[in-house]
Amino acid sequence: MADQLDILFITADQWRGECLSARGHPMVKTPNLDALAAEGVLFRKHFANAVPCGPSRASLHTGMYLQNHRSGTNGTPLDARHTNWAKEAARIGYDPVLFGYTDTSQDPREEDPESPWLMTYEGPLPGIRPVCMMGTWPTPWTNWLTEQGYEVPDDIRFAYGIRAPGTEYEDGGAHPRPLIYPQEANDTSYLTDRLMDYIAETKGRFVAHLSLLRPHPPFVASEPWNAMYDPEEVPGFTRKEKPDAEAAQHPWLEHQLGRKLFRAPANEKKLRRMKAVYYGLMSEVDAALGRVFAFLKETGRWDNTLIVFTSDHGEQMGDHWLLGKCGYFDASYHIPLIVRDPRKAADGARGSVVDRFTENVDIMPTMLDLIGAEIPVQCDGASLRPFLEAREPATWRREAHWEFDFRDPADDSAEKRLGLTLHQCTMNIIRDEKYKYVHFTKLPPLFFDLEKDPDEFVNRATDPDYLPLVLEYAQKLLSWRMNHDEQTLTHIALTDDGPVTRRAARY
């Protein structure tokens, strides 16, 4: 029965969409995720709906676009009136549990003024039960390390990145310096071990969210993963020759490249070392997940467990001279999605690849649909069930959409540099097979011809030959936003016979 499924919902933080060997990546090896895709469905054009972590995960966990949930930055509270997949699963008897973090900024109106959750943006998703909560402060892991006899730094936040002694690669070392902790004791192994401990002790159904930090920075990997990929052999970087030439594309990009934290290092060897370790962290996550998948098979859980693997966002990794996740480039938003549905109804789709545009707002509706829970009206996404059953949905989106809110309530530097107010520090993006349109609240727009310029170097927004298309896509974006305005009660009418409801498709 659908409502008897277990769910393992996995996020690996900051994972670029092309970085799977199942996608034909020239270097990254992910044999266990490849095997998962062979038994499930690989979604090739899957996108996050926001960056950075907090806003993106708010969309992932509520099924809502940023324009509706409004948790636009790390630290912007998520309105408590919105439900999420954990609350909805709990309504039908599940006990949703967390291994890792959800980066949920709590609604201060719902918290005691002395609540510790008002001192951090890394709170737990309401409705989820943290079994092993990690994040910036990895207390369970560092406590365990101490018990095992390992040294931990006084400020445990630095445990993720302590390198072993030696010479770093760009200074003449043979390989990138490894994490001081061995692979069996690092944060990835620790979290996956705790997950397996929990599943082994759980007799009934489970809905577990495994939220791994890696391959998120710091780019430091345990042996042997630190040396798995040769920095000299990693693919090059999609960028113009000089940062200043890149910055000339748009005032926002000039601003972003002027921020030291987000500008790629000029030292080519250092950047290549970072990229090689980024890949190594991915392969390590893949190996850890392989252990989890083998455990599910050994314990008889495999044939009853829905597995969802995705990320919260991508990583620029030197492309366009940027680091991290930001702006409008695909590298920050294109992410992997693999869904392995154990039901017999999904047998016909096993090993298939979906080329339709899918988004993180589709994850919550999919999980709820497959366990027999109602999909709330608030969800802007739609269930992926038709694709999992080798069926073509009656209607589906033809574009991907995402948003970036680059305001900083604690720092007005962007506003001053760009001549904006706090509420004007926003951009919206719509992207289809051929074109991408970027709309800023109060800055010039961008328009890219992705067939001629897949790397997004040439802004066509003021090119006379493209002006009709710019207008068309500006109208598409406006219609998209109008179609997805928050709709929680809009399908209800109070009549002489009482409340009448009528649900409608989004597309």
Nearest Cα to Cα of residue 86 among 216, 190, 211, 214: 211
Angle, CA of 17, 361 and 288, to the nearest 5° = 45
- Give the Cα separation of 98 and 224 in Å (integer): 28
Angle, CA of 12, 17 and 20, to the nearest 5° = 80
Within 75-220, residue ranges assigned H as helices are 85-91, 139-147, 187-201
171 contacts: CB under 8 Å, gap ≥ 6: none
| Residue 132 annotated among the catalytic residues of the structure | no
Q: Are 477 and 283 in contact (CB under 8 A)?
A: no
Q: 195 is written with which tokens?
A: 């997950």
Local structure of residue 76 (DSSP, 8 states): P
Q: Can you list the positions of beta strands (E) in 169-328?
A: 207-212, 305-310
- CB count within 10 Å of CB 493 equals 11
CA distances from 66 to 275, 401, 453 (A): 30, 11, 28
Q: 381 is written with which tokens?
A: 């996404």
- Give the Cα separation of 255 and 259 in Å (integer): 7
Nearest Cα to Cα of residue 123 among 139, 136, 112: 136
Within 20-128, residue ranges assigned H as helices are 31-39, 53-62, 66-69, 85-91
Nearest Cα to Cα of residue 238 among 503, 501, 457: 457
- Give the Cα separation of 64 and 401 in Å (integer): 12
Q: Are 403 and 425 in contact (CB under 8 A)?
A: no
- Give the Cα separation of 240 and 315 in Å (integer): 18
Q: Can you list the positions of beta strands (E) in 76-135?
A: 96-100, 129-133
- CB count within 10 Å of CB 412 equals 14
Q: 91 is written with which tokens?
A: 């309504």
Q: Can you list the positions of beta strands (E) in 360-475?
A: 400-405, 426-431, 435-440, 446-449
Using CA of residue 53, residue 54, residue 56, residue 61, what is the dihedral sign? Answer: positive
List residues with catalytic annotation.
Answer: 53
